Each structure stands twice: as structure tokens, then as C-alpha cells.
Amino acid sequence: MIQYLLSVHSTEGDPEPSPEQMQAMYADVEAFNAEVQASGAWVFAGGLHPPTSATVVRVQDGEVLLTDGPFAESKEQLGGFWIVKAADLDAVLELARRASIACQGPVEVRPFQDEPAA
């Protein structure tokens, strides 16, 4: 089994969904999560607070440097993710299709590197 990151990105400046839309989306995502858990593909998932809540920690010459805001200077920022395990890309693409419908946005699929041998 390969582990994959399914990530959802939000774009700065996109219109905020209405509370009703948010409710519907939460319900859809919850239903999807339940399906994934039941299928055994589930590893972990979570939604993130907005990128403005982020802090970047950098160590330079032993000095700790903190910066307010997200690392990438981009309009597109990570909003949430699933980590799932699947036999191959086709299997995970099917999960991503359903995830994309549930969260109403594009989903990026990216494989994790193999765990180093113990």
C-alpha cells in the first residue's frame, strides 16, 4: 500500500461561501470521511485555520527567526488534507474524485515517500 496526501487549497480573494453552503460542505465531507474510514483507506485528515494564523520558524546560524504568515507567498494556500493509503494511483484517484465533490474544490494527490526500512 502507498500512502497519499490529498490536499485542498483555498484561493485568497475567492468569495466566502454562505453559512448554508458551509454547512452542506461540512456534512458532505463528514459523510466522505466516514466512507473512507469504513473502507480502511483512512490514515488521518484535518482542516486548517486560515494561512494568516501561520508562523514560520527559521534557524539561521543558530539564531531562531520567526515570521508571521505562511511560508509560501502565494494566493493559493493549503486549507486541509487527507492522508489515505491505497494499492495504486487509480484507487486513490477515485477517492480524490469523491473528495473533490465533497469539499467543492480541486484536490491534489501526492504520494508519500516509502517509510525508511526499520
Task: Give the residues lining the site for another protein (CB under 8 A).
Answer: 2, 86-90, 92-93, 109-111, 113, 117
**51 vs 82 by CB, closer to another protein:** 82
Q: How far is the CB of 78 from another protein (least distance, A)?
A: 19
Exposure of 42 by Cβ count < 10 A (0-12 exposed, 13-18 middle, 19+ buried)?
Answer: middle
**45 vs 109 by CB, closer to another protein:** 109
Q: Are 86 and 97 in contact (CB under 8 A)?
A: no
How many whole angstroms separate alpha carbon 31 and alpha carbon 13? Answer: 28
**63 vs 90 by CB, closer to another protein:** 90
